[in-house]
Structure 1
Amino acid sequence: MIRHWLFAGALLALPFGAVNANDTTAQLAAGGLVLVKNDAVEMQSEDLHLSRSRVQVRYVFRNTSGKDVTLRVAFPMPPIGGPGFFMQDVSIPVDAPANLLGFATRVDGKPVQSEIEQRVFVGDVERTAWLTANHVPLAPHRDEARAALGRLPAAKRAEAVRLGLIDDDGEPAWTLRVTYHWQQRFPAGVPVVVEHGYTPSVGGTVATMLGEAQGDADTAARYCVDAPLLRTLRAASRAGRHYPEQWVDYVLVTGGNWKKPIGRFRLVVDKEAPGDLVSFCGEGVRKIGPTQFEMTKTNWRPDKNLSVLFLIGR
């Protein structure tokens, strides 16, 4: 057996949604599994089902090298914290220090016990050891971290300020990067089915500007809003009806790390409520049910991420 210890060394810097007003909640972008490029394992298929309440992904991998290999597979959580983080109302769906999306994995139908890597950075400088040595919890968005900072002796608190761990408002200023990872055996020529699911971070605002007189060109471009949808929104606005926006981002480009392009890719976006509207950038999208829309690709290597706009009917 050939054994490789491969890890996605550079953790992904996943983008926040734009935040412009007090009535807006920002979302955190997550995505799929990460593996450094290798010459052994192909992603034969990926089935991605995305809604505001759940992201579920099913992969089929095959090792075509002729020899069994063991690779380290990783799922990076969206980074938490950093400059300006506490100036935003950020959607964190699960109250767990290290698993804020409720991430879980099965391989060939059996649950996987993942290892967890947690690292703290101020800019590009790692400060995990300092926080651990001073008994400060690593999750900057939780009250326990603020309380621990408040208990620091004056000299240690001054040191934390010098290191950039505390900002001018006294808030935690570091970024926490969490990665779930495990070693996965890929037998030669045998399909391996990997499934994972999590609760997405959903951003939103109380009313869309699409269809209003002033418009919103940036949102229209980001989500590929077409003319018929704009006409629907204009008619609703004239009738005094205004749709709230919600957004979910998904990092697709990690699918480019495998041996070959994804053999078969299927995306299903579910708006969940028939009265809601949805828009996202894609080719060949078709409606397959009252609330579901499908896009399929073959031999595909994604080169950009997915952003989905939901407009909430009332």
Structure 2
Amino acid sequence: MVFLSQGIRGLIAAVLLCAGIMPAQANDSMAEIGAGGLVLARSDLIAMEKETLYLSMDEVRVDYVFRNDSDRVIETVVAFPMPDIKVDPYGGDWAIPRYEDNFLGFSVEAGGRRIEPRLQQRAYAAGVDVTAMLEVAGIGLSPLDDFGSPIDTSGLSQAAIADLVARGVVFANRDAATGRYIDPVEPAWTLKTTYWWTMTFPANAEIAVRHRYQPAVGGSAGLFFLTGDPAQPVDSGYVQDYCMDRSFLNAVERRQKTADANSIGYTEARLSYVLTTGANWAGPIGDFRLVVDKGSTKNLVSFCGEGVKKTGPTTFEMRKKDFWPERDMHVLFVVGHSLQ
């Protein structure tokens, strides 16, 4: 979320820098896209007293307790920036949970009451806002209802298509003989989506806020971090992102060796959570609690954290006082599969 007292235009310009897409690694890999939490524009009046962050392959759920330490009621615009979607038919596959505007199934409530946020969508190509250009051309901004389909150019002139191509908004090929653009014409813009609403913070009081969504979990058919290279058997990028230690790798090795005839082996799932962009409130997070749920006792999990404790058959917890987020969260799940 972003708390801003200025207009929506300034809000959107700020929050749309928050999340990006991680590239696909191979044809049998789905790339995760990292969303995050509530991003507070710099405020010396609103403090985050508590945050509980729950991460699993099925749900991201964040519970906050904010406190307005001032003697006046504060009413601000609040926003949740969805991850950017690069609409590129040649750029790989992304693990989008649902093909609709609310592609993460985002919902939010404050003080126990459901909030219906407004939707803001913009299209960008080469860093330029091309929303108006697409609207004039009669092209919808969001292709998610019909993901990957070519654009209907039946109502566009050759000059209009040429202009869209020149500005990097679409891909199109020309007929070698006639020089005319021919179908299919493919989208090439980046879709930026933000949900926003207004919210009141009572004077000298706390307010509880919860939001949840289905994460865009990336995955691979197999374990990509095992390179097969005796000189460097584990991918160094994975080690850095997920803090994979020897005990985790030993557990992976044991699971693979003991897989029985009813098992189809292990695959990996990857979840990213944008944590650092939220550190804009008054002071650190007073009480921060992270819960990671691996979903099944058949699965393994690795992520970076200090003082992590196992709290249940599938859950792990980290707690911090006066916490400043210094890095984003990346969670690697090694998922066991069975034929039964």
The verdict on a shared fold, with TM-score over 0.5 as the criterion, is yes
**CA distance in 1: counterparts of 2:89 and 2:47, whole angstroms:** 38
Q: 2:30 aligns with which of 25, 47, 52?
A: 25
In structure 2, relative to structure 1, the CA distance for the partners of 1:147 and 1:102 (3 Å cut) is same
Aligned to 2:77: 72
Structure 2: gaps of 5 or more residues? 174-184
**CA distance in 2: counterparts of 1:209 and 1:40, whole angstroms:** 46
Aligned to 1:160: 164
In structure 2, relative to structure 1, the CA distance for the partners of 1:225 and 1:85 (3 Å cut) is farther
Structure 1: gaps of 5 or more residues? none
**CA distance in 1: counterparts of 2:13 and 2:208, whole angstroms:** 24
Aligned to 2:336: 313
% identical equivalent positions = 39
Q: 2:268 aligns with which of 245, 252, 266?
A: 245
1:212 shift after superposition: 6.0
In structure 2, relative to structure 1, the CA distance for the partners of 1:91 and 1:210 (3 Å cut) is closer
In structure 2, relative to structure 1, the CA distance for the partners of 1:285 and 1:205 (3 Å cut) is same
In structure 2, relative to structure 1, the CA distance for the partners of 1:149 and 1:252 (3 Å cut) is farther
Aligned to 1:107: 110
Aligned to 1:280: 303
**CA distance in 1: counterparts of 2:224 and 2:108, whole angstroms:** 38
Q: Does 1:219 align with 2:238?
A: yes
Give me the CA root mean square deviation: 2.1
**Paired residues of 1:210 and 1:233 also in contact (CA < 8 A):** no
Q: Give the secondary structure class of the aligned counterpart of 1:99.
A: coil
Q: Does 1:266 align with 2:289?
A: yes
**CA distance in 1: counterparts of 2:12 and 2:319, whole angstroms:** 27
1:123 shift after superposition: 1.9
Aligned to 2:96: 92
Q: 1:62 aligns with which of 67, 73, 79?
A: 67
Which digits, 9 at most, give the CA deviation of each residue in 1:13-63, with x for residues without a partner? 523334221111101100001221012111111111110011111111110
**CA distance in 2: counterparts of 1:179 and 1:15, whole angstroms:** 13
* TM-score between the two structures when normalised by the length of structure 1: 0.92
1:74 shift after superposition: 0.8
**Paired residues of 2:18 and 2:277 also in contact (CA < 8 A):** no
In structure 2, relative to structure 1, the CA distance for the partners of 1:152 and 1:280 (3 Å cut) is same
**CA distance in 2: counterparts of 1:226 and 1:38, whole angstroms:** 38
The structure whose residues are more often strand, as a share, is: 2
* TM-score between the two structures when normalised by the length of structure 2: 0.85
Q: Give the secondary structure class of the aligned counterpart of 2:187.
A: coil
